Amino acid sequence: MGIKAPAASLMLASTFFLAGCGAATASTGSSPPNTASGPIKIGVVTSESGPLSDYGQQEIRGLKLGILYATKGTDKVDGRSIQLLIRDDGGSPSQGSTMMKDLILNDHVVMVQGPAYSAVAIPMEQVAGQYKVPLLIDPAADDDLTTTYLNPYVFRTAADTYMYAAAYADYLKSHGGASGQTFYQFAPNYSFGTSSVKDWATALTDAGAKNLGVLYAPETTTDFSSYIDKILALNPLPKELVVTWAGVGAVDLFKQMEQAGLYQKMKVIGAIGGYNGLKALGHAANGFIGVTDYYYSLANGTANSYLVKHYQAKYGEPPDLFSGTSFAAGQAMVQALSKAGSTKASALIRALSGMTIEAPKGTETIGQSSHQATQPMYVVKLVWNSSAGYAVPQDIMTVPNLAGQPGQ
């Protein structure tokens, strides 16, 4: 999952109903309620094209299965069918906000889910507040989305950038701390990158490590040779390099680091992405230690068993990183509609606040005031598996019930 954009470094990269998107009107105010006897319309704004299209695909697939699971296979709540209206933001913040307005004003959706790209989520949050329509964010991961930009209509089932860093810090502290360690960071120069850099710097220094600085690159970078040269020229060399990257260039980055021999000179850590990304990285990912918020074989329980079984049957592969948290988004929306007994925004936000979900990763609670879902995070080591054809995450430590970045 860019930003602030979806989470994380090793991450790479239809429908119940799909309609053409008309231009949004200029009127203000909340959307009219859906007709009580008609379908319940829910908007989805995410990246079906652009640099984060893989994340958007994972999101949509998981969301549909989460709704199907939560409605016991009916796609209905109180006898009314759920109708998803999916829009492609193409990774454009202006396009995302325009499409959300159109969904509210012209299609009269009662909720909106998405996006993949955190930079798109920021203006979408403003639209949610302006028109008083709940927005359930997933997979966008920038922690500012549920702190700086939070309003009463914004909720999130995705993990935020803070959770990744906090989980790794807990791992370090339980293994003797990081006194005497040094670290340097490399990240994309936009809100997702800056948010992640801030969180990892705080977490690692709190664990006792010394911060040697950060190097940023444009989010569209695919040739990283000059940046890798700068890192290898550091004096002293850091003992750990924290890498944050998502979408375009992620595979290139890790392969180019391997070719430059960087892995032999420092330990590379960070957020670890999903199944598709790991396959693409191949041997370059072997030995990487970091944090992931979902991998299909690490989670357990009824919801995850359903997700894995039905995703594999429908798509011919296991569920990827953002399918797990978007599955939880589908569960949350169904549960909110059922509990509220209404499609009114005021009833839905009361139902979502403090809600507990039995999600694929286990029990998650959407904070009463933070509106961020607590969830477990997994500290893992990637180990090459020849039969799988990629480096498979092996659980080193599961950190339960992590909350998001404290409010600012």
How confident is the model at residue 286, as a pLDDT?
A: 86
How confident is the model at residue 190, as a pLDDT?
A: 86
**Cα 50 from Cα 308, distance rounded (Å):** 27
How confident is the model at residue 9, as a pLDDT?
A: 33
**Cα 11 from Cα 8, distance rounded (Å):** 6
User: Above 90 in pLDDT, residue 377?
Assistant: yes
What SS3 state is found at 338?
helix
Residue 278: pLDDT band with limits 50, 70, 90: confident
In one-letter notation, the amino acid at residue 127 is: V
How confident is the model at residue 203, as a pLDDT?
A: 92
Residue 94: pLDDT band with limits 50, 70, 90: very high
High-pLDDT (> 70) share of the chain, %: 91
Q: Is the pTM of this model over 0.85?
A: yes
The distance in angstroms from the start CA to the end CA of the chain is 24
Please report the DSSP string for 124-178 in residue order: HHHHHHHHT--EEE-SB--GGGGTTT--TTEEE-SPPHHHHHHHHHHHHHHTT--
Lowest mean pLDDT among 1-10, 176-185, 290-299: 1-10
All structural domains of the chain, each given as residue ranges with its CATH number in brackets, are 40-160+299-373 (3.40.50.2300), 162-297+377-402 (3.40.50.2300)
CB neighbours of 95 closer than 8 A, spacing ≥ 6? 89, 120
How confident is the model at residue 34, as a pLDDT?
A: 55
Lowest mean pLDDT among 15-29, 162-176, 196-210, 315-329: 15-29
How confident is the model at residue 191, as a pLDDT?
A: 84
In angstroms and rounded to an integer, the radius of gyration of the C-alpha atoms of the chain is: 20
User: Above 70 in pLDDT, residue 145?
Assistant: yes
Residue 235: pLDDT band with limits 50, 70, 90: very high
Mean pLDDT of 14-23: 32
Mean pLDDT of 387-407: 89
Q: What is the mean pLDDT of the chain?
A: 89
**Cα 20 from Cα 1, distance rounded (Å):** 25
Q: Peptide bond preceding 236: is omega within 30 degrees of 0, i.e. cis?
A: yes
How confident is the model at residue 297, as a pLDDT?
A: 94
* In the block, residue with structure tokens 């004096």: 235
Look at 130 and 248; give whichever has higher pLDDT. 130
Look at 260 and 19; give whichever has higher pLDDT. 260
User: Above 90 in pLDDT, residue 98?
Assistant: yes
How confident is the model at residue 281, as a pLDDT?
A: 79
How confident is the model at residue 16, as a pLDDT?
A: 31
**Cα 63 from Cα 345, distance rounded (Å):** 20
How confident is the model at residue 13, as a pLDDT?
A: 30
- The burial class, CB within 10 Å (0-12 / 13-18 / 19+), for 220 is exposed
Query: pLDDT (tens digit, 9 = 90+) per residue, 33-76?
Result: 555 679 999 999 999 998 889 999 999 999 999 999 999 999 99
Q: At what angle do helices 302-315 and 53-70 cross, to 10 degrees?
A: 120
Residue 250: pLDDT band with limits 50, 70, 90: confident
User: Above 70 in pLDDT, residue 103?
Assistant: yes
**Cα 208 from Cα 311, distance rounded (Å):** 42
**Cα 242 from Cα 358, distance rounded (Å):** 32
User: Above 50 in pLDDT, residue 28?
Assistant: no
User: Above 50 in pLDDT, residue 12?
Assistant: no
Mean pLDDT of 301-325: 96
DSSP 3-state percent helix, strand, coil across the chain (nearest 5): 40, 25, 40
Lowest mean pLDDT among 218-232, 280-294, 296-310: 280-294
How confident is the model at residue 380, as a pLDDT?
A: 96
